Chain A
Amino acid sequence: MSGFFAKLGEYFAGLDMMTAWTVLITGFVVVFAVLILLIAIIKIYSTIVYKSEQRAKARKEKKSKNDDDDTPKGTGAGGGNAASANGGVSGEVLACIAAAVAMMYGDSVRIKNIRKAPARSAWGNAGVRANTAKF
């Protein structure tokens, strides 16, 4: 039995445990340090982007409000500021929507805003698949 432990001791003595511990500690510290640094950087830039976007949004809303006040009422379905606030919808689609609204509700209504409905994200789709696919 003592011979076995002696051999085991010899085996472990021959191993390069110094490098092993170096890798463990370096790996642990570096991976955490880099990813924690990324947390800080993402938080900082997210805050900056969020604030600048909020400012831009506020400016846009203010401008839109001013435009609304300047626009005479009853300009028809296609009038007003719909084109300026088309949310990335092309002119042709905008015209179709305006025509459809005019057809349904008449000339007395005014389109204030047209926006694309938010599409489902890739992970949203993955979620739907996850809950509908056979697991």
Chain B
Amino acid sequence: MAIINGFLESLVGLYNDSGLSVLTWQNYVMILVSFVLLYLAIKKQFEPLLLLPIAFGMLLVNLYPSIMDPHATHQVLIEGAETLEQAKALSGGYPVFQNPEGLFYYNKIEAGGLLYYLYQGVKLGIYPPLIFLGIGCMTDFGPLIANPKSFILGAAAQIGIFITFIGAILLGFTDAEAGAIGIIGGADGPTAIYVTSKLAPHLLGSIAIAAYSYMALVPVIQPPIMKALTTKKERAVVMEQLRPVSKLEKILFPIVIVVVCSILLPSAAPLIGMLMLGNLFKESGVVERINKTAQNELMNIITIFLGVTVGATATGANFLKLQTLGIILLGLAAFCVGTACGTLFGKLMYWLTGGKVNPLIGSAGVSAVPMAARVANKVGQQENPGNFLLMHAMGPNVAGVIGSAVAAGVLLRICG
């Protein structure tokens, strides 16, 4: 009989610990959402490098919420201990203390969940700058150096961030939350995560998912806006070939950018500093081993940690709110306004240069490297198949990365 009771108690204990008893309906909904994201990442290949780990992190945390629990300290009474020596002998090595009533206790430290520890890299703002290091190693700023006016287009596309900020305030978000939502318009995942982790960590899951989803949807979202704001004649403009950029110019570029941006806007220094360090690794040509590690192994490891832990912040209780819908809609608005402003400034440059600039390249100012530049190239080729805008669009595209980091610095300074 005792054996049967023990067996039943074990079963009840197992049931109480299992997801069947612990999980709420919100967790089950989030599990379904994670399946949809896994489908989009694997089948549709929507930014799979990040969407897949994000979706899996979301799945894990909703199956086993304790995986994100912080470490906990419990005070355990040491029964039968009358002296400090006896208490120490019975404490199992934990630090012992005595309360005013003379009872001995020890502090038992319970380790936190795996993803809680990995999440510290997001919380402390470590992973996004390291991702920027890898991006810097892979980025060729040559088109931007050859045509520095591209910076204007990179700046114009950031207007969406600040206009969305107003929209978010009107919807009742706080300043910090509005800043984090607006940065989705920068179309730069690491920047969005960095800013959100500093300003509104409770919105991290929804903002990261919105940012990466829109970045994956660049070929769907941008072309209608670009076509609506330009004429056939403007889209067909063939631009002059860019001048070759010397190695010395390429080496000086990251040094100049980091000095100027860090002095003027110190809060943007972690992002821009790492981006430019990576670029200097690449352009200097003297640290090939480090360059390869930063753009491959290091970046891949950080991408896994970043993706899984950001996904793990999307618990049912955090994500299934009306607020999330607001974030997704505002993020889309930010993205569309950024694209529109970039294209309109491209149009302005078209007029000012007497038709030498194709306005489509302005849309690439919304970071999302190199997808936004590819889209500008593709839309241009629909009017003139012999027109290759990719190199020209890469200028505003990489300028957008710097522009969104500068915008992030402004938001952190004002709202942080």
Using a CB–CB distance below 8 Å, which chain A residues touch chain B? 11-12, 15-17, 19-24, 26-28, 30-32, 34-39, 41-43, 45-46, 49-50, 53, 121-124, 126-127, 130-131, 135
> Which 5 residue pairs of A and B lie closest in terms of their CB atoms, listed nearest first?
A27-B162, A35-B151, A20-B169, A35-B155, A42-B148
A-B contact count (CB 8 A): 137
Find the B residue at minimum CB distance from A32: B155
Known: A23-B162, A46-B249, A126-B390. A39 touches B148 (CB 8 A): yes
Q: Is B205 an interface residue (CB 8 A)?
A: no
Can you offer 27 A-B residue contacts whose CB atoms are under 8 A?
A15-B172, A16-B169, A16-B175, A23-B179, A23-B414, A24-B165, A26-B414, A31-B155, A31-B406, A32-B155, A34-B265, A35-B154, A37-B260, A38-B256, A38-B260, A42-B256, A43-B148, A45-B252, A45-B256, A53-B246, A123-B370, A123-B394, A124-B391, A126-B370, A130-B377, A131-B388, A135-B219
CA distance A42 to B394 in the complex (A): 17
Find the A residue at minimum CB distance from B179: A23
Residues of A within 8 A of B407 (CB): 27, 31
Q: Mark B72-114, 1 if CB is under 8 A from A, else 0.
A: 0000000000000000000000000000000000000000000
**Interface-facing stretch out of B136-144, B209-217, B224-232, B314-322:** B136-144
Chain B stretch 132-188: residues in CB contact (< 8 A) with chain A? 138-140, 142-145, 148-149, 151-152, 154-155, 158-159, 161-163, 165-166, 169-170, 172, 175, 178-179
Q: Is B253 an interface residue (CB 8 A)?
A: yes
Using a CB–CB distance below 8 Å, which chain B residues touch chain A? 138-140, 142-145, 148-149, 151-152, 154-155, 158-159, 161-163, 165-166, 169-170, 172, 175, 178-179, 219, 246, 248-249, 252-253, 256-257, 260-261, 264-265, 370, 373-374, 377-378, 388, 390-391, 394, 399, 402-403, 406-407, 410-411, 414-415
B402 touches A35 (CB 8 A): yes
Find the A residue at minimum CB distance from B219: A135
State how many angstroms separate the Cβ of B393 from the closest Cβ of chain A. Answer: 10
CA distance A37 to B260 in the complex (A): 9
Chain B interface main SS type: helix
CA distance A122 to B373 in the complex (A): 14
State how many angstroms separate the Cβ of B171 from the closest Cβ of chain A. Answer: 9
State how many angstroms separate the Cβ of A129 from the closest Cβ of chain B. Answer: 9
